[in-house]
């Protein structure tokens, strides 16, 4: 029903009509009218962050853990520019986010007014779409369109820039129904001929492989169920990108582990040697392919993706299927049932035997230590002690992120929040805030590094203010570990500015924020400390002192193919000798 | 330890096959910032723009037609089209070069307009006018010391005309860029 209201009222009304329960934001001059409406209603709850980047990451965590759209409200100028990192992160990882930014009044746009910036200009390349609303009559429609664009097709972030005079102006509000978009209508259903061909190829395969990605999770619960069903029916081994972890259960016997630069030996060798590869909702990112001309040289490649621009971008595929993963998998399962194919059981048994010999390499093994906590061990313990609980994991970016992906095993989707495409240090802490807002009774752990976590540390304040008992588990090796690892491997072991001198005392820092600080320095005290962290019903900063110079393996070295992986055993001794005296003191 | 040069964790550039020139026609909503979206996409992703023209073609529906000539490998040209289609205000992307090739033509219909100012006296002036007539260029402004010629045609014709005018006192050129349309009765 049409109703006259102010622009600020419309923004809140549109959010409520879109079913938004929480927004993450920070007030400022150009959004004061919206904040004034916000405080006078109770449908939409506001979470006050401490920096706008944190607001976007929190919204991403909220969106990724629920499947809903995450919503952000920030002011003009610095509010908008601070949000840019988060928006880019959401674009790279296809996370649906609606970011509302305040803008100076329309008559001042272009005048270099106070806290003015060209928000739509700055955010154009880092959003799926954006709007500057210069007419009150467009506002309600644009708000609903924003949600439609953010969550339809390949999801992504959008920005709605609302000048302050538009927030004050009065106009007619229209509801979300009956707003059909004139141009943006993504193709959901796949081409039936292509689907039949795909099933025939899969049925005739001797060494098939599913390479899945974040698109399966974005497609929703149905897609993950269908993936499990099809993989089971066809008996196909499954690997996944970093973004896709959880779509296929890690406890399943057909699971090979993550693939890519720090993926498992069996997953990468299977990628290299397979004869039919079905890429489902992934994008052949350079962390996955390694050397393009040596990437899976003998396979017929089938690529299921909702975004046509992902097809043939990095790797030429033989059979593209444009469509939503759930729709396409549903059709594939139906065709498979009708076809009831005789798969080459003998060939597939040989394929599994080969995979088992790769698995026997035990590529994730590391040297255990009784005096020093190995970072891998710390994550193994967190996994063992929290796996039976309702747990969500977020991460920062670096070695700890890769170890978390290798050693924390997910059986369900939407449980794993990490910055994959952009690789944003500082993502995990605010993302944990967002996840905890969406799941107040669940256990939310940010597996962090000492360098990353300092980038958005201020959001501990947000957690304390809103009673969000997030657990920040810092693998503290006093290095930017991944930077150092690359310097060791690629730059002659010259450790240029990758050592974090004068780190804060994280336990005291926790106390200063009004949360709980814990520390573990020996493997023997780790379990008790983790259990204490889990039990505390308040935010925790956990300073886990780990081996300083541990490196992350296996690894596909620069410019190499999948079958040229480095395993930990190959390099440890050599690296030890490559580490200087100053470094050795720290081991 | 394998340490391939150059020391980078990114894959090496793949040596590309030959590049081709394609003429694309893009129908977009004529809304603020739409051209910035299109050219921002090209600069952001490192694609080439050899020529670009834009004008509103349907005033009621507020639709603009962007004609662009771009170069790339077949894989890149395909990417460009898909990336353009991904922009929310884009209605249709038509590869006129492919449309022409499928219909058995070498190229789509492509026309450009140029305005050329030629300054000179005596024989040079007479020669300029004579060549202009041969190219069916119109004189749109003149004094005893200059001509401004208006020339319409294929790009090759305009290029050739400008080469000939160079020694005859060509001092300034303005070109519209290519407008293009496919042959035959089918509409976009």
User: pLDDT exceeding 70 applies to what percent of chain B?
Assistant: 95
Q: Say what the pLDDT of residue A545 is.
A: 97
Q: Say what the pLDDT of residue A572 is.
A: 58
* Structure confidence at residue A149 as a pLDDT band (50, 70, 90): very high
CB nearest B88 (choices: A129, A132, A564): A129
Which residues of A belong to the active site?
52, 114-115, 164, 482
Q: Say what the pLDDT of residue A377 is.
A: 98
Q: Say what the pLDDT of residue A101 is.
A: 98
State the Cα–Cα distance between residues B2 and B166, nearest whole angstrom.
57
Element (H, E) at A130: strand A129-132
Q: Say what the pLDDT of residue A585 is.
A: 36
Q: What is the mean pLDDT of residues B2-30?
A: 78
Record the tokens describing residue A520, joined without a space: 């573990």
Q: What is the mean pLDDT of residues A190-202?
A: 97
A-B contacts at Cβ under 8 angstroms: 79
- Which A residues, 232 through 261, put their C-beta within 8 Å of a C-beta on chain B? 261
**CB-CB under 8 Å, A559 with B82:** no
CB A161 within 8 A of CB A81: no
pLDDT (tens digit, 9 = 90+) per residue, B41-77? Answer: 999 999 999 999 999 999 999 999 999 999 999 999 9
Domain ranges of chain B: 20-102, 109-180
Q: What is the mean pLDDT of residues A332-350?
A: 95
β A3-6/A170-173 pair status:
antiparallel
What residue in A sits closest to B16 (Cα-Cα)? Answer: A293
Per-residue pLDDT for A32 more than 70? yes
Q: Are the folds of B20-102 and B109-180 the same?
A: yes
Per-residue pLDDT for A587 more than 50? no
CB nearest A309 (choices: B4, B32, B79): B79
CB nearest B82 (choices: A308, A560, A566): A308
State the Cα–Cα distance between residues A202 and A575, nearest whole angstrom.
43
* Structure confidence at residue B16 as a pLDDT band (50, 70, 90): low
User: pLDDT exceeding 70 applies to what percent of chain A?
Assistant: 96
Burial class (CB in 10 A: 0-12, 13-18, 19+), A110: exposed
Q: Where are the beta strands (DSSP E) in chain B?
A: 20-29, 51-58, 63-72, 90-95, 109-119, 138-142, 146-153, 170-175, 179-181
Per-residue pLDDT for A3 more than 90? no
Count of Cβ atoms closer than 10 Å to residue B43 Cβ: 10
Record the tokens describing residue A201, joined without a space: 């190829």
Q: What DSSP designation does A533 have?
A: H
* Structure confidence at residue A1 as a pLDDT band (50, 70, 90): low
* Structure confidence at residue B142 as a pLDDT band (50, 70, 90): very high
Q: Say what the pLDDT of residue B114 is.
A: 98
Which CATH architecture does the domain made up of B109-180 adopt? Answer: 2-Layer Sandwich (3.30)
pLDDT (tens digit, 9 = 90+) per residue, A456-512? Answer: 999 999 999 999 999 999 999 999 999 999 999 889 999 999 998 889 999 999 999
Q: Say what the pLDDT of residue A563 is.
A: 86
Q: Chain B partners of A309 at a C-beta cutoff of 8 Å?
A: 79, 82-83, 85-86
- Scan for tokens 């949000």, then name that residue: A83
* Structure confidence at residue B182 as a pLDDT band (50, 70, 90): very high
Q: Chain A partners of B7 at a C-beta cutoff of 8 Å?
A: 490-491, 558
pLDDT (tens digit, 9 = 90+) per residue, A383-398? Answer: 999 999 999 999 999 9
Q: Chain A partners of B79 at a C-beta cutoff of 8 Å?
A: 309, 312-313
Secondary structure string (H, E, C) spanning A135-171: CHHHHHHHHHHHHHHHHCCCCCEEEEEEEHHHHHCEE
Per-residue pLDDT for A532 more than 70? yes
pLDDT (tens digit, 9 = 90+) per residue, A85-119? Answer: 999 999 999 999 999 999 999 999 999 999 999 99
**CB-CB under 8 Å, A571 with B4:** no
The three-class DSSP label of residue B178 is coil
- Scan for tokens 């909220």, then name that residue: A62
State the Cα–Cα distance between residues A528 and A547, nearest whole angstrom.
19
State the Cα–Cα distance between residues B64 and B77, nearest whole angstrom.
22
pLDDT (tens digit, 9 = 90+) per residue, A395-423? Answer: 999 999 999 999 999 999 999 999 999 99
* Structure confidence at residue A582 as a pLDDT band (50, 70, 90): very low
**CB-CB under 8 Å, B4 with A559:** yes
- Which B residues, 12 through 31, put their C-beta within 8 Å of a C-beta on chain A? 12, 14, 29
Count of Cβ atoms closer than 10 Å to residue A31 Cβ: 26
State the Cα–Cα distance between residues A162 and A136, nearest whole angstrom.
9
pLDDT (tens digit, 9 = 90+) per residue, A437-461? Answer: 999 999 999 999 999 999 999 999 9
The three-class DSSP label of residue A373 is strand
Record the tokens describing residue A514, joined without a space: 């009004």
User: Which CA distances in Å does A215 have to A95, A240, A498?
Assistant: 10, 11, 34
Class of domain B20-102: alpha beta
The complex scores an ipTM of: 0.87
The reply to whether B83 touches chain A by the CB within 8 Å rule is: yes
State the Cα–Cα distance between residues A584 and A549, nearest whole angstrom.
8
Record the tokens describing residue B119, joined without a space: 């300054």
Record the tokens describing residue A407, joined without a space: 């050693």
Q: What is the mean pLDDT of residues B145-173?
A: 97
Q: How far is B188 from chain A (nearest CA, A)?
A: 15
Q: What is the mean pLDDT of residues A273-278?
A: 98
**Buried residues in A381-393 as b, exposed as e (16+ CB within 10 A):** bbbebbeeeebbb
Element (H, E) at A74: strand A70-74
Per-residue pLDDT for A578 more than 50? no
**CB-CB under 8 Å, B83 with A309:** yes
pLDDT (tens digit, 9 = 90+) per residue, B80-102? Answer: 999 999 999 999 999 999 999 99
In a mutational test of the A interface, the residue from B58, B77, B81, B82 whose CB has the highest number of chain A CBs within 10 Å is: B82
Per-residue pLDDT for A69 more than 70? yes
**CB-CB under 8 Å, B11 with A559:** yes
Distance separating the N- and C-terminal Cα atoms of chain A: 68
pTM of the model: 0.93
Q: Say what the pLDDT of residue B50 is.
A: 94
């Amino acid at each position: 029903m049409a109703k006259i209201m102010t622009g600020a009222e419309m923004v809140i009304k549109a959010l409520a009509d879109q079913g938004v329960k929480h927004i993450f934001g920070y007030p400022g001059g150009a959004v004061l009218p919206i904040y004034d409406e916000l405080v006078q209603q109770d449908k939409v709850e506001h979470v006050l962050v401490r920096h706008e980047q944190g607001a976007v990451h929190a919204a991403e965590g909220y969106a990724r853990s629920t499947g809903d759209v995450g919503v952000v409200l920030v002011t003009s100028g610095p509010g908008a520019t601070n949000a840019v990192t988060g928006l880019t992160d959401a674009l790279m990882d296809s996370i649906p986010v609606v970011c509302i930014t305040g803008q100076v009044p329309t008559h001042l746009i272009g005048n270099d007014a106070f806290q003015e910036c060209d928000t739509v200009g700055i955010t154009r390349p880092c959003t799926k779409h954006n709007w500057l609303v210069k007419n009150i009559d467009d506002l309600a429609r644009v708000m609903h369109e924003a949600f439609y664009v953010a969550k339809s097709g390949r999801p992504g972030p959008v920005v709605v820039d609302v000048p302050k005079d538009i927030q004050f102006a009065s106009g007619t509000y229209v509801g979300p129904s009956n707003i059909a978009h004139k141009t943006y209508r993504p193709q959901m259903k796949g081409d039936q001929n292509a689907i039949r061909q795909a099933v025939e190829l899969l049925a005739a395969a001797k060494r098939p492989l599913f390479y899945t990605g974040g698109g399966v999770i974005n497609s929703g619960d149905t897609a993950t169920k269908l993936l499990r069903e099809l993989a089971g029916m066809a008996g196909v081994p499954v690997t996944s990108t970093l973004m896709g972890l959880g779509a296929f259960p890690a406890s399943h016997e057909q699971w090979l582990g993550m693939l890519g630069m720090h993926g498992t030996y069996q997953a990468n060798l299977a990628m290299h040697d397979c004869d039919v590869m079905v890429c489902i909702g992934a994008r052949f990112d350079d962390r996955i392919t390694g050397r393009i001309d040596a990437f899976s040289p003998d396979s017929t490649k089938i690529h299921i993706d909702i975004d046509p621009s992902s097809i043939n971008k990095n790797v030429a595929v033989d059979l593209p299927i444009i469509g939503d993963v759930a729709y396409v998998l549903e059709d594939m399962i139906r065709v498979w049932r009708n076809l009831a194919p005789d798969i080459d059981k003998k060939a597939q048994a040989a394929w599994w035997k080969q995979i088992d010999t790769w698995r026997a390499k035990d590529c994730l093994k590391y040297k255990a230590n009784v005096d020093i906590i190995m970072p891998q061990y710390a994550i193994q313990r967190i996994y063992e002690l929290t796996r039976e609980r309702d747990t969500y994991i977020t991460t920062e970016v670096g070695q700890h992120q890769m170890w978390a992906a290798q050693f924390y095993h997910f059986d369900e989707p939407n449980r794993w929040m990490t910055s994959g495409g952009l690789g944003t240090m500082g993502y995990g802490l605010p993302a944990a805030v967002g996840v905890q807002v969406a799941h107040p009774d669940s256990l939310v752990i940010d597996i962090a590094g000492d360098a990353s976590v300092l980038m958005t540390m201020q959001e501990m304040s947000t957690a304390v203010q809103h009673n969000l008992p997030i657990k920040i588990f810092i693998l503290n090796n006093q290095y930017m570990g991944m930077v150092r690892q690359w310097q060791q491997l690629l730059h002659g072991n010259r450790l240029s500015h990758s050592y974090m001198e004068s780190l804060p005392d994280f336990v005291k820092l926790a106390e200063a924020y009004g949360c709980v600080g814990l520390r573990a320095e020996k493997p023997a005290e780790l379990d008790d400390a983790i259990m204490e962290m889990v039990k505390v019903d308040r935010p925790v900063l956990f300073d886990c002192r780990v081996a300083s110079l541990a490196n992350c393996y296996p690894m596909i070295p620069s410019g190499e193919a999948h079958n040229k992986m480095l395993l930990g055993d190959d390099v440890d001794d050599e690296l030890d000798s490559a580490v200087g005296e100053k470094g050795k003191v720290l081991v | 330890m394998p340490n391939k040069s150059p020391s980078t964790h990114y894959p090496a550039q793949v040596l590309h096959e030959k590049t081709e020139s394609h003429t694309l026609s893009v129908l977009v909503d004529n809304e603020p910032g739409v051209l910035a979206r299109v050219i921002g996409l090209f600069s952001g992703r490192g694609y080439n723009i050899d020529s670009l023209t834009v004008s509103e073609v349907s005033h009621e529906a507020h639709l603009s037609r962007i004609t662009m000539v771009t170069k790339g490998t077949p894989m890149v040209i395909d990417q460009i089209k898909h990336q353009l289609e991904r922009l929310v205000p884009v209605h249709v992307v038509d590869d006129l070069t492919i449309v022409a090739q499928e219909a058995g033509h070498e190229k789509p219909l492509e026309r450009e307009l140029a305005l050329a100012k030629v300054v000179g006296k005596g024989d040079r002036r007479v020669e300029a006018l004579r060549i202009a007539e041969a190219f069916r260029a119109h004189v749109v402004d003149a004094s005893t010391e200059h001509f401004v010629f208006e020339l319409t045609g294929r790009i090759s014709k305009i290029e050739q005309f400008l080469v000939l005018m160079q020694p005859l006192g060509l001092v300034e050129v303005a070109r519209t860029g290519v407008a293009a349309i496919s042959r035959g009765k089918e509409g976009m």
